[in-house]
Structure 1
Amino acid sequence: MKAFVLRSYGSPDVLDLTDIDKPVPGDDEVLVRVRATSVQPYDWHLMRGEPRIARLMGGGPGLRKPKINILGADIAGQVEAVGKDVTEFRPGDEVFAMPKQGGFAEYACVRESELAPKPKNLSFEQAAAVPMAAGTALLGLRDGGRIQPGQKVLINGASGGVGTFAVQIAKAFGAEVTGVCSARNVDLVRSIGADEVIDYTKEDFTRHGQRYDLLLDIAGSRSGPACRRVLTPKGTYVVVGGPGSRWIQPVGHVVSALAMSLFVSQRTVIADVVRCVKNRQNLMTLTDFIEDGRVTPVIDRCYPFEEIPAAIRYTEEGHVPGKVVIAV
């Protein structure tokens, strides 16, 4: 099969499109013919080995060279073959998953427990936009934020991959949603359900005067203390990402937020992206939202498989509205 192989850290130019052996599924695995994948910050952080502090961690990308050689954390496709212990899938089934690696290839192996049937009303390209971004939004709002109907929710970074899902998922839970984004994306964020939209180029949301029960901070564009000003006394601050240097981004923002939580009544939670891949039920919950029309992926661009490096370059520029997907 053809795959983009990562052998050393660097720019998108280090990705080598080459022929390698098709993977063989283990007893509890499913071999998926990848029909579409997506590009996200997770991929290019691994490609560049940043933040560099992560290379020192046991579960990090690797100290001197990448541990993960085929990037692509989201996939949608068709079952090609199954291991002997697989009971719920058969060749030909349309599926989607977040295996954390392997999407930048024509085939990928996924554990049965990490796989779910593709939403019936989505194309493969649309389905590939869902797992990591929508899963992060779901866990941040539902598990971390403990979102409740009628709450006032602020989403900082509402026009990006996670943000566009977060706006819709928060509305699906019955919240009143305010989104923060740039001027060019105000209409987009309003069109996907936000009750109010703040243009950060004209107004500082931390000085807006409104108080919220939950802040989902995807952009990390304001300090933790500033963000706490917009929360109610018992509000929850959920940190998804943030800016920083090549060495510690966005670890510094996360650590700062956690440290501040020791001295205030408001809760601080770090979104647990890893659980997106551990629990098939999260994908099933997202499928319910999607099939009943409450959540729809927002796709900015779709690239052909051969242009994955160009897709990553575009994504690294930042400020992508919605998701960038790849047709394999």
Structure 2
Amino acid sequence: MEFLKTCVLRRKAWTTVCFWRSQVIQKLSVRKIGTTSPRSTVMPAWVIDKYGKNEVLRFTQNMRMPIIHYPNEVIIKVHATSVNPIDVNMRSGYGAAALNMKRDPLHIKIKGEEFPLTLGRDVSGVVMECGLDVKYFKPGDEVSHKPKSLTHTQAASLPYVALTAWSAINKVGGLNEKNCTGKRVLILGASGGVGTFAIQVMKAWDAHVTAVCSQDASGLVKKLGADDVIDYKSGNVEEQLKSLKPFDFILDNVGGSTETWALNLLKKWSGATYVTLVTPFLLNMDRLGVADGMLQTGVTMGSKTLKHFWQGVHYRWAFFMASGLYLDDIAKLVDEGKIQPVIEKTFPFSEVPEAFLKVERGHARGKTVINVI
């Protein structure tokens, strides 16, 4: 989403923005800027010049308009975008080592040359210009062929969290519409963007869903289809969950000490799987450097996987995974009415810092969206 008003889809950029129905999503990504006409040379943008707290966000009217450099790029006019927790973390420097490696695989650039930096990953808008090799899109297309039933505001709330949940549930967890009927699923941290999407896709596939959230979010998760709701503030969560039947699949959006007991809630020796989205991968790279960080990550993941395998359950890590094919499946479920966007609050473009603070406070009830126009 980078907080700009126009964007260029570019191969090999770091920020992979999620577009609807996008085969190009695997090779194109974006840098955003303004809603001015294609002939303009500058546009408004929110950028950071250093990592830090919310005060590092800076508004500028003078960000250069993007131009097409490669024949597989398109430029879009951004209508709406959304803020994800990772955007807030990256504002403070989280993932900087990986970000800079992606931009400069040979590590030639000097530290700090990434600034001014724009943040984000989600966007919904309209194609303005296309490179010569672009065949699937044309000027005027709503990128990237978003579900017809959604507005730009609604569409911008879904891609990053939807693809993250889809990666965890389907690609890593192995669940799909054909094998999910009757499976007992537990979602920890169920009221946020990933959790609210995960509930809906699991119910669309006929699973039995238990959601863990606070009491004031219970109405929301029940409305989305959760069969059982556990209030983590009303007592010992582990003991409450132990009173239920064991689970076939657990999606953990919470992390921390949760995994020390959550895996005991799975059915043993039945193929049951625990998938966590809270991993030390980027932290290791920031702390140890790229090579040592990746090595440490591999050792940690391997040892945990092996340990839990011998205890009769599967332990997995999952991450956001860009995929046009997955977005096709998601868009189909949206247009069939089986999945709906869950938006807690919208902000105008002038209030990007307030949107960041909203997400930084946590306790989300769905997504925070920014209307650019």
Tell me the TM-score range normalised by the shorter chain.
0.7 to 0.9
Report the equivalent of 2:233: 201
- Provide Cα deviations, 1:107-142, integer angstroms capped at 9, x if missing partner: xxxxxxxxx311111111110001110111111111
Superposed, which structure 2 residues align to 1:264-275 within 5 Å?
Answer: 264=308, 265-273=312-320, 275=321
Q: TM-score, normalised by structure 1?
A: 0.84
For residue 46 of structure 1, report the CA deviation from its aligned partner.
1.3
| Aligned residue pair count | 304
Report the equivalent of 1:123: 151
Against the structure 1 CA distance between its residues 57 and 118, is the aligned structure 2 distance closer, same or farther, given a 3 Å change threshold? Answer: closer
- Provide Cα deviations, 1:205-246, integer angstroms capped at 9, x if missing partner: 433223100000011254323011111113101011279xx8
Cα contact 1:179–1:197 (8 A) shared by 2: yes
Cα contact 2:100–2:114 (8 A) shared by 1: no
Report the equivalent of 1:240: 277
RMSD: 2.9
Report the equivalent of 1:109: none
- Provide Cα deviations, 1:18-65, integer angstroms capped at 9, x if missing partner: 12111113311111100000001121111110267x569834999953
Instruction: Provide the rounded CA distance (Å) in 2 between the counterparts of 1:221 and 1:79.
Output: 41
Higher strand fraction (1 or 2): 1
| 2:350 paired with 1:302 | no
Q: TM-score, normalised by structure 2?
A: 0.75
Instruction: Provide the rounded CA distance (Å) in 1 between the counterparts of 2:113 and 2:316.
Output: 29
Provide the secondary structure at the position in 1 that maps to 2:368.
strand
Cα contact 1:254–1:270 (8 A) shared by 2: no
Instruction: Provide the rounded CA distance (Å) in 1 between the counterparts of 2:113 and 2:204.
Output: 39
For residue 204 of structure 1, report the CA deviation from its aligned partner.
3.4
Letter in 2 for 1:272: F
For residue 256 of structure 1, report the CA deviation from its aligned partner.
6.2
Report the equivalent of 1:183: 215
Report the equivalent of 1:99: none
| 2:284 paired with 1:214 | no
Report the equivalent of 2:136: 88
For residue 82 of structure 1, report the CA deviation from its aligned partner.
0.6
Against the structure 1 CA distance between its residues 55 and 87, is the aligned structure 2 distance closer, same or farther, given a 3 Å change threshold? Answer: closer
Larger Rg: 2
Q: Aligned residues: percent identity?
A: 36
The match for 1:166 among 174, 177, 198 is 198
Against the structure 1 CA distance between its residues 55 and 145, is the aligned structure 2 distance closer, same or farther, given a 3 Å change threshold? Answer: closer
Instruction: Provide the rounded CA distance (Å) in 1 between the counterparts of 2:251 and 2:151.
Output: 28
Cα contact 2:200–2:224 (8 A) shared by 1: yes
32-41 or 251-260: bigger deviation: 251-260
Unaligned runs of 5+ in 1: 96-115
The match for 1:150 among 164, 176, 182 is 182
Cα contact 1:155–1:216 (8 A) shared by 2: yes
| 2:274 paired with 1:227 | no
Against the structure 1 CA distance between its residues 55 and 83, is the aligned structure 2 distance closer, same or farther, given a 3 Å change threshold? Answer: closer
Instruction: Provide the rounded CA distance (Å) in 2 between the counterparts of 1:206 and 1:66.
Output: 46
Letter in 1 for 2:316: V
Cα contact 1:219–1:242 (8 A) shared by 2: no
Letter in 2 for 1:71: L
The match for 1:34 among 78, 100, 106 is 78
Provide the secondary structure at the position in 2 that maps to 1:79.
strand
For residue 67 of structure 1, report the CA deviation from its aligned partner.
3.2
Instruction: Provide the rounded CA distance (Å) in 2 between the counterparts of 1:201 and 1:253.
Output: 32
